[in-house]
Amino acid sequence: MRNWTCPLLFTFLWIFGFSSSIPRSNLNAEELTGERNEAVPIPPNQINDCKSDEFRSGEYCCNKCSQGYKLIRACKNHNERSECEMCENGTFLSLINFNKNCFRCKECNSGLGQIEISKCQYNQDRVCGCPQGYFKRPLADTFKCQACSHCGKNSYAVKPCFDNNDTVCKCLNNYFKGENDENCKPCSECGDHQDSSCKSACPALVTKPSNVEKNDLWQNLCIAALSVLGLCLIAFSAWKVFKHIQPRSVTVYDNVSPTEPTISTGTTTLPIGQGIQETATPECMSVVQSRSPAAQLPDCIPQCTDSAFFYYSVIKVVPVNCWKEFIRRLGLSDHEIEVIQRDHPHCFRDAQYEMMRRWRMKNGPVMPGMLTVTLTDMELAGCAEELYSKLKWQA
């Protein structure tokens, strides 16, 4: 036991002395490369305390490049600026930057209908769009040019076709457009439509279509009835006027014959102008013709057509503005009328008297019924009736 104690003690002392002789600097290096690395301070190049238009390069804040320029070399000290270079053709940089490369400009796809709106520049990318009458329809990461829609019949544009939006159309009042319709239809065609477009555009017609149809039917019936009533009133009025005129203008003289004998009752002197008198022999007669054994005698009508009374009776009932047409219809020529007017330039009444006398001399004995028929043909039924009354009263 005593033989092993001394060697063990010697070995322990030797190991202790060897460990204490290791240099201190070697221990510090091991500590720096060991598990305590996180305690090492952050390098200065990781600190971002530069302005918005600057970037950090090592220990310095360098200026960024302007739009359209790329970075060639960063600054090396506080008094030095970064070296920048303009982008090549077909490339661009649209923002201030410290990029070392420019972006390539995009190309417009003609297969999708795209056209170039603005060219590629060193500080701006190429802008593509659509021609007039087209709008952009999204397609993945690009777009396709599609023709703008046109508002159909009975509709108008609320918003025009522009950029990314197609034309927005709206139906006129009292029109609707179904889900599968191309054009707007009148609300009267709603019928049994139950889609939302018909209900919103034509609520009254959708809720009560039967009442509307009944109202239209009654309106049509009323219009037809009024039209028929109006035609009946017009026809009745025309028939009444014709009936009122016909007996007085034609029938009264049907029984008078120009070959009946005349009765002379003497002579009568009447004025025909200023200080002018003419003696006429009235040949008046009473015509009696029985239609049946029990028939009464008709009224007496004077047959004297060559008397001053007869002439003045005709002159008084015929309007002055219708006189020439009246005397022309009786058979007096325009030349004769002009000659008589020249012979009596100061008194048209004397000229009228002379025209009647000339007409009587030219045609011989005539029936008064001829005058009333002529007046009726001239649409002067009232004058014909008045003349008939005067001649009847004189008889």
Residues 279 and 164 in one domain: no
CA distance 63 to 84: 10
The confidence score (pLDDT) of residue 273 equals 38
Residues 255 and 389 in one domain: yes
Residue 351 contacts residue 340 (beta carbons within 8 Å): yes
Residue type for 235, please?
A: A
Where in the sequence is the domain holding 188, given as residue range(s)?
Answer: 155-205
- The domain that holds 118 is classified in CATH as 2.10.50
The confidence score (pLDDT) of residue 130 equals 95
- The domain that holds 313 is classified in CATH as 1.10.533.10
The confidence score (pLDDT) of residue 181 equals 80
Largest separation between any pair of C-alpha atoms in the chain: 217
Is 236 a member of any domain?
A: no
The confidence score (pLDDT) of residue 197 equals 73
Number of domains in the chain: 4
Residues 257 and 383 in one domain: yes
Residue 33 is given by DSSP the state T
Residues 280 and 168 in one domain: no
pTM: 0.38
Rounded to 5 degrees, φ, ψ at 45 are -70, -10
Is 163 a member of any domain?
A: yes
Structure tokens at 103: 């972006």
Residues 337 and 305 in one domain: yes
Is 335 a member of any domain?
A: yes
- First-residue to last-residue Cα distance in the chain: 203
Residues 302 and 367 in one domain: yes
Residues 142 and 159 in one domain: no
Is 313 a member of any domain?
A: yes
Is 4 a member of any domain?
A: no
Per-residue pLDDT of the chain (395 residues; tens, 9 = 90+): 445 555 555 665 555 554 444 444 333 333 333 333 333 343 554 556 899 999 999 889 999 999 999 999 999 988 899 999 999 999 999 999 999 999 999 999 999 999 999 999 999 999 999 999 999 999 988 999 999 998 888 888 989 998 999 999 989 888 888 777 888 888 887 765 566 777 777 876 545 445 555 677 888 888 999 999 889 989 888 877 776 554 443 333 333 333 333 333 333 333 333 333 333 333 333 332 333 333 333 444 445 566 788 888 889 889 989 999 998 998 888 999 999 989 988 888 899 999 988 888 888 776 777 888 888 888 888 888 888 887 775 55
Is 52 a member of any domain?
A: yes
Residues 260 and 367 in one domain: yes
Residues 84 and 160 in one domain: no
Residues 256 and 348 in one domain: yes
Q: What angle do CA 95, 101, 104 make, to 5 degrees?
A: 80
Is 171 a member of any domain?
A: yes
Is 277 a member of any domain?
A: yes
Residues 184 and 308 in one domain: no
Strand positions, DSSP E, the chain: 54-57, 60-63, 69-73, 83-86, 91-92, 103-104, 115-118, 127-129, 134-139, 142-147, 155-159, 168-171, 175-176, 185-186, 263-264, 268-271, 277-280, 283-284
Residue 122 contacts residue 87 (beta carbons within 8 Å): yes
The confidence score (pLDDT) of residue 7 equals 56
Residues 270 and 384 in one domain: yes
The residue among 187, 205, 223 that closes a domain is 205
The confidence score (pLDDT) of residue 174 equals 84
- Rounded alpha-carbon distances, angstroms, from residue 364 to 187, 287, 306, 356: 79, 19, 9, 12
Q: Pairing relation of β-strands 155-159 and 103-104?
A: unpaired
